[in-house]
Amino acid sequence: MLHRGARSPGQRRGRVSDLPREIACVRACRLPGREGPVDLALAGGRIARISRHDPAAPAPAAALEARGRLVTPGFVESHIHLDKALLSERVTAPARSAAEAIRLVGEAKRRFTADDIRERARRVLDLAVAAGTTAMRAHVEVDPIVGLAGMEAMLALRTEYAPALELQLCAFAQEGILQAPGTEGLLRRALQMGADLVGGCPYNDTDAGQHIDVVFRLAEAFGVDADFHVDFFDEPEHLHVRAVIEQTLRRGWHGRVAVGHLTELAALPAFEQDDIMAGLAEAAIGVICLPATDLYLMGRGDATSPRRGLTPVRRLLQAGVPVALASNNIRNPFTTVGTADLAHMAFLAAVAAHMGTPDDLIALIDTVTTHPARIMRLQDRGLAAGGRADLVLWECERAEDVVAALAPRAAVLKDGRLTVEHTRRVRDRWREGIVAPTAGASG
């Protein structure tokens, strides 16, 4: 719940400008990879200073008492589809492939309105904010079916949620560009309206090369980044990532391009993976793994020992490629489950990508915090002096428990302001001497 009963960002009445007070210091917290408790002094929405905690020092008036609990950067959701979230009650037919999911959602999309999109998106945004997400990139479908309704809805939500979450909007051509005449003009219009970047889906078009070219030309014309859904199949049938790498290097768009899914990479022999990974690293292209969707839709044709279908997360990290984990779809034909909680994506990746050591688990925290921030070109993220005070206080002391134990969140800060405070169990509170136990109290 929000601190002192402040309105949830997604409630219809009121703005989120009434969110709670600024925090001057997070006292006695633990940081990943750092010994002992420290104090984080906050000022102007940033971390002003990190110092060893002195229990004898008086607490500032606006202090958040961590009492030895862990603090991490806020979650950064780098790939999510808010506009087609929460469709499970409307679309009950199962999707046995990515193409079938696109078709089923395309049919449902004909009945979308801006109000409908806005209300479903709000529900997901509220979940994400409560889970500790402080920045997000949403792919907003722009095509002749839905027109600009999604963009209209998301632009309003970007403003509404700004005090709690920084929302990037990607004008996204899910239905193709060449096979959907008028889409290029709609993408251009969406960018004029205020979309932050442009996205494409070359595997769902009649000419993948031209599709990629159009997206890059729009990115250049508007001076924005590009984000592609690529190679979302079991077998290496497309490998459009090679064209994305080539165009990124040729156009000098280094560090301004991301690719999502990239599941075909896992089907290649190691030497071919190495070649593509070297190109990704050279072009500074970020790779976004979508564990829930990719596990759900890949391997459907495997009669025995179905493959996991994830892009090779560990090998990409070892090759110096920035890798993020993201939610993608929430309760629709692409992914019939979902909580908008990136800790769950890290948990899935720990199992499916065989990343279960303590060091692996801590590295997975980076894939939902600092790595996606880098991919989204968000400046000054991380736990260092001068960094943005977008923080999560956890109900644990060890960093690996964020993933291994799916530790609860205690509080969330955005730009140094307390935006979420979760109620703790009575038993935990009286054990710490915060409140006295009473007869019959239970936790």
* Domain regions of the chain by residue span: 3-73+382-431, 75-375
Find out whether 362 and 32 touch, Cβ atoms under 8 Å. yes
Q: What CATH class does 75-375 carry?
A: alpha beta
Distance CA 11, CA 405 (A): 31
Residue 440: what pLDDT?
41
> Would you call 16 helix, strand, or coil by DSSP?
helix
H or E element that contains 412: strand 409-414
Assess whether the region 3-73+382-431 and the region 75-375 belong to the same CATH fold: no
DSSP string, 257-298: EEEEE-GGGGGS-HHHHHHHHHHHHHHT-EEEE-HHHHHHHT
Residue 437: what pLDDT?
42
Residue 428: what pLDDT?
54
Find out whether 64 and 80 touch, Cβ atoms under 8 Å. no
User: How far apart, in Å, do the first and last CA atoms of the chain sit?
Assistant: 18
**Predicted TM-score (pTM) above 0.85:** yes
Q: What is the mean pLDDT of each run of 10 residues along the chain (443 residues)?
A: 39 40 95 94 97 91 94 99 93 84 90 95 97 98 97 98 97 97 98 99 98 99 99 94 99 99 97 98 99 94 90 98 98 93 98 97 98 97 96 97 97 96 60 46 40
Cβ-based neighbours of 58, under 8 Å, separated by 6 or more: none
Q: What b/e sequence results for 396-429 when a residue is b if at least 16 CB atoms lie within 10 Å of its CB, and e otherwise?
A: bebbbebbbeebebbbbbbbbbbbbbbeeeeeeb
Residue 21: what pLDDT?
82
Residue 431: what pLDDT?
52
Task: Give the CATH number of domain 3-73+382-431; options: 3.40.50.11890, 3.40.640.10, 1.10.1060.10, 2.30.40.10.
Answer: 2.30.40.10
Distance CA 78, CA 141 (A): 16
